[in-house]
Amino acid sequence: MELNKKKLHDLRQEYRSAQLSEKDVESDPILQFGKWFSAAVDAQLFEPNVMTLATADRFGKPSARIVLLKEFDENGFVFYTNYESKKGQDLVENPQAALVFFWAELERQVRIEGVVSKVDVQTSADYFHSRPTGSQIGAMASPQSSVLDSRESLEEKVSNLEKVYEGKEIPHPIHWGGYLIEPMHIEFWQGRQSRLHDRIVYDLVDGSWIINRLAP
């Protein structure tokens, strides 16, 4: 299909499946997130833990990519990555981040903003060793975000590491681990008809969550 400006302008979807009221949400946004995340899992959505992670460097230049949520609790939201990657470099310079979940089939979005810190080494090691062997080797082999000579050079490194660690425990690389995003602001968005969406926002003020409704 040839995509011209008119066709792009005409791409739209009416949202009608649900509504969201500040009277119905949990007083704690982590509990509310848990309810919505469980609904996404129960709906058998493809990888409901997919989220966009946005970071910025010391100059405020933004960068975004897709990562996977691996844990969440009252402390915040955890993902794992190479600390020497572009996102890792950004978080050294500017330890703040934003997350976005979009569950299209449920017409829902969650936006999270907060401060970021590394999880402890033992937690990272435990998760690393729970991953499939191929993923462990890949984490060791890939200098994430660095320029490669070729795909073949990466595959050769993977092959060599597979031989070295065949039948052995793969050591947890110190350059790989988890980040915890401690939320300060969480917004729950429920699509509604005529773009009059429901937006319920939680802001952490003096240790307590304040709930408000935002205009769509």
**Non-local CB neighbours of 184 within 8 Å, separated by 6+ positions:** 113, 114, 115, 203, 204
User: What is the distance, to the nearest Å, from the Cα of residue 159 to the centroid of all Cα atoms in its chain?
Assistant: 30
Residues 6+ apart with CB under 8 A from 17: 106, 107, 191
Active site residues per annotation: 195
